[in-house]
Structure 1
Amino acid sequence: MELRFELKKLQLKETFSIAYGNYDKREALLIELSYQNYKGYGECVAIDYYQIDLQSFILKLKEIQHQIEVQKIVHPREFFKSLLNLNLHTFLLSALDCAFWDLFGKLENKSFIELNQIPSENLMESSITISIGEIEHQIQKIEKSNWNKFKVKCKGLNKNNIKKLLGLNRNIALDSNASFTDDDCVWLQENIEVQKFSYLEQPRPIDNYQILKKEGFANWMADEDCQNLDSVDELIPYYKSINIKLMKCGGLTPALEMIKKARELNYKIMIGCMTESTVGISAGCVLTGLVDYADLDGANLISNDYAQGNFVENGKIILSQKPGLGIELK
């Protein structure tokens, strides 16, 4: 097996504004695993609020390249076990795990969905993100959009803006990226109108969720608070829903485990994304048959997508039906 990797620049169609900052571009690391003329792809991106340094990932890949390349072609779950011995950051772990699932499926001539017997009909629609801005501008974007589901970013709580969004009678979620105060959270979870929002994502900074009550009217969804399998148990009293992102948890293999456990614990589940190309989004799309919400608009936000595969069109998840994750470079 051969391992290759390359840095890519992702240019956003417009400035993306969230509580953590404003962004015009992202840097991505493309992973390619090849064997017998078949190529599998995975990706991770540099996210500053996760302290991701892709240069350190490249140094790590050079260090472990031989260990990866001497691996035999085994089932992806066995390959993932071998990766766990290499002390990898979850973002890099995810890129390698997804690339191997893509390669393995192509070698077997079976899609990830076939290999894991995942439903592929009547998939949840994805939301599209409305970045921070004047409320009138956000509403205008929603009303002009061909999408049906929206995730509106906000920085702090503006009660008048909340009322305006609720008055639209559209499928809207809120994401404050940890910018709500304890008082904001109490007001929201005690306000019956707030149950009209499909979910309210990551209201407080990491590990500051004790004010949240899942019995309230707010469908609190954990994002940064839900990093891995262990956190699913800890969050039960506080959150009704969790956002599983492949880069956070380490790839498709652990995501399948998290989904299984979250179902057992009666969570609602979302498969989410970062700002990613179709390489990353294709991996997320294959899990949509197992979840309640999808937020997979990452590739729709960039102007220079370098891959094709599974994709999202006006919110609808379109599966390529091709082997592996269906990823091809343009």
Structure 2
Amino acid sequence: MTAQRQRILSAVEDPLPFKAPFTITGYTFTAWPVVVARLETGGPAGEGEASGVYYRDENPAAMLATIESVQEEIEAGADRQTLRNLLPAGGARNALDCALWDLESRQAGRPVWALAGLEAPRPLITTFTIGAADPGKMADDALGYVQARSLKLKLTGDPDLEAERLRAVRKARPDVWIGVDANQGLTPDTLEALLPALVDCDVKLLEQPFAIGREADLEGIKLPLPVAADESVQGLADIEALVGRFDIVNIKLDKCGGLTEGLMMVAEARRLGLGVMVGNMAGSSLALAPGFLLGQLCDIVDLDGPVFISRDRDPPVVYEDGHVSYPANGWGGGA
């Protein structure tokens, strides 16, 4: 017997072209396709956007197929906790989870932050990301982020080139907090060679230096700066194994499958004495909005995805004085 529908679920792909090519370890992107899930009830509707996890080969076609596989359950009234049992972590679950939060908010007439037991959101200092390029180009990009108080540099693994990049950016912007993201591109040897430049340039964070599966290599290295796990932590179940190797957990909703699990991850990381960072894959302001709420609980915020795309959604996120904020009348606003 087919369950009676309480909602109508739809999902579509949106290509979201980049303003310019963007390079990290092993990849250059010119667009960032996303999936938008929408739940309609005849009254309020909820939406969620997800881009999936590129290094897990998630793509819009796969995410759409995954969403379709649970359409009957979602339309019959499955809630967010049931969704965690229906689907594994990833982009499809993120889109649905965030659409469910948005729908609940609009049906209740209360913002998501209140439903989640959070305080009213405040603007947050965010990093602005500089893709790996020629050192001079990266320095120019750093100068282009006039308002930035915090920059994150993408690295690709060559310690000599990375040192040049770091010194060029630090010379251009002596005033900002700098973190670096290796995206699994370093080894113990190349990290050791890079350490003097990290210290000289006063780098405050090293993100995901080694490949997934090589986390134990961090145990024998004394580092003068905190290390964040990104690719090495996909969801809640991965956090405990980070203790003693990493200092900070980078939570991205596309990885963990939505705001519901993201909130659980913050609580678990804090319980284990780890710092917390919120990041985002590229995407529009619709994807950033739930991450912005999670960022209210985090030590480091990296929410600059909409900066790179050539068109955004309404209402757009606001970047001002190095801070990010999201309008109260947008996703999860309760109106």
Q: Name the TM-score, length of structure 2 as normaliser.
A: 0.88
Q: Which residue of 2 aligns with 1:238?
A: 245
Q: Distance in 2 between matches of 1:40 and 1:197?
A: 40
Distance of aligned partners of 1:303 and 1:314 in 2 relative to their CA distance in 1, 3 Å threshold: farther
Is contact 1:119–1:290 with CA below 8 Å preserved after alignment? no
User: 5+ residue gaps in structure 2?
Assistant: 1-6
Percent sequence identity is: 25
- Whether the 8 Å CA contact 2:138–2:169 is kept in 1: the answer is no
Q: Residue 84 of structure 2: SS of its match in structure 1?
A: helix
In the alignment, what sits opposite 2:17?
A: 11
Structure 2 counterpart of 1:24, which letter? T
- Give the whole-Å Cα distance in 2 for the aligned partners of 1:121 and 1:49: 31
The answer to whether the aligner puts 1:290 opposite 2:291 as a matched pair is no
Seen in structure 2, the aligned counterparts of structure 1 residues 192 and 248 have a Cα distance that, compared at 3 Å, is closer
TM-score normalised per structure 1? 0.89
Once the two structures are superposed, residues 170-207 of structure 1 have per-residue CA deviations (whole angstroms, 9 ceiling, x without a partner) of 21110111111111233456888269222111111112
Q: 1:206 aligns with which of 212, 232, 236?
A: 212
Over 3 Å counting, the alpha-carbon distance change for 1:254 and 1:206 in structure 2 is same
Structure 1: how far apart are the matches of 2:236 and 2:200?
A: 29
Is the contact between residue 185 and residue 212 of structure 1 (CA under 8 Å) also seen in structure 2? no
Residues 314 and 280 of structure 1, relative CA distance in 2, 3 Å threshold: farther
Letter matched to residue 105 of structure 1: S
Question: Aligned partners of 1:308, 1:229: CA distance in 2, in Å?
Answer: 31
Tell me how far apart the structure 2 counterparts of residues 272 and 311 of structure 1 sit (CA, whole Å).
17
1:65 is displaced (CA, Å) by: 1.5
Moved more, 214-223 or 33-42: 214-223
Q: CA deviation at 1:61?
A: 2.7
1:216 aligns with one of 217, 223, 242: 223
Shift of 1:317: 2.1
Contact 2:48–2:287 (CA under 8 A) maintained in structure 1: yes
After the TM superposition, which of the residue ranges 207-216 and 11-20 deviates more from structure 2? 207-216
* Whole-Å separation in 2 of the counterparts to 1:192 and 1:91: 33
AA partner of residue 102 (structure 1): D
- Specify the code of the residue in structure 1 equivalent to 2:295: T
User: Does 301-310 or 243-252 show the bigger shift?
Assistant: 301-310
Q: 1:261 to 1:60 in 2, by over 3 A?
A: closer
Question: In the aligned structure 2, how far is the partner of 1:100 from the partner of 1:183?
Answer: 46
Shift of 1:53: 2.9
Contact 1:310 1:326 in 2 (8 A): no
1:282 aligned partner, one-letter code: A
Counterpart of 2:153? Answer: 152
How far has the Cα of 1:109 moved from its partner?
1.2
- Tell me the amino acid that sits aligned with residue 258 of structure 1: M
C-alpha displacement of 1:89 = 4.8
Amino acid at match of 1:108: A
Amino acid corresponding to residue 151 of structure 2 in structure 1: F
Per the alignment, residue 306 of structure 2 pairs with 299
The equivalences for 1:131-150 within 5 A come to 131-145=131-145, 146-150=147-151
**2:71 paired with 1:65:** yes
Q: Which residue of 2 aligns with 1:76?
A: none
Deviation at residue 18 of structure 1 after TM alignment: 0.9
Residues 106, 324 of structure 1: 8 Å contact kept: no
Name the SS of the counterpart of 1:212 in structure 2.
helix
Structure 1 counterpart of 2:260: 253
Whether the 8 Å CA contact 2:319–2:325 is kept in 1: the answer is yes
Where structure 1 has 5 or more consecutive residues not aligned to the other structure, the ranges are: 73-78
How many Å separate the matches in 1 of 2:168 and 2:187?
21
Assess if the C-alpha contact under 8 Å between 2:52 and 2:255 holds in 1: no
Letter in 1 for 2:166: I
- For 2:326, the equivalent position in structure 1 comes to 319
Indicate whether 1:281 and 2:288 are aligned: yes
Q: Is the contact made by 2:317 and 2:324 (CA closer than 8 Å) also made in structure 1?
A: yes
SS of 2:255's equivalent in the other structure is helix
Q: 1:192 to 1:162 in 2, by over 3 A?
A: closer
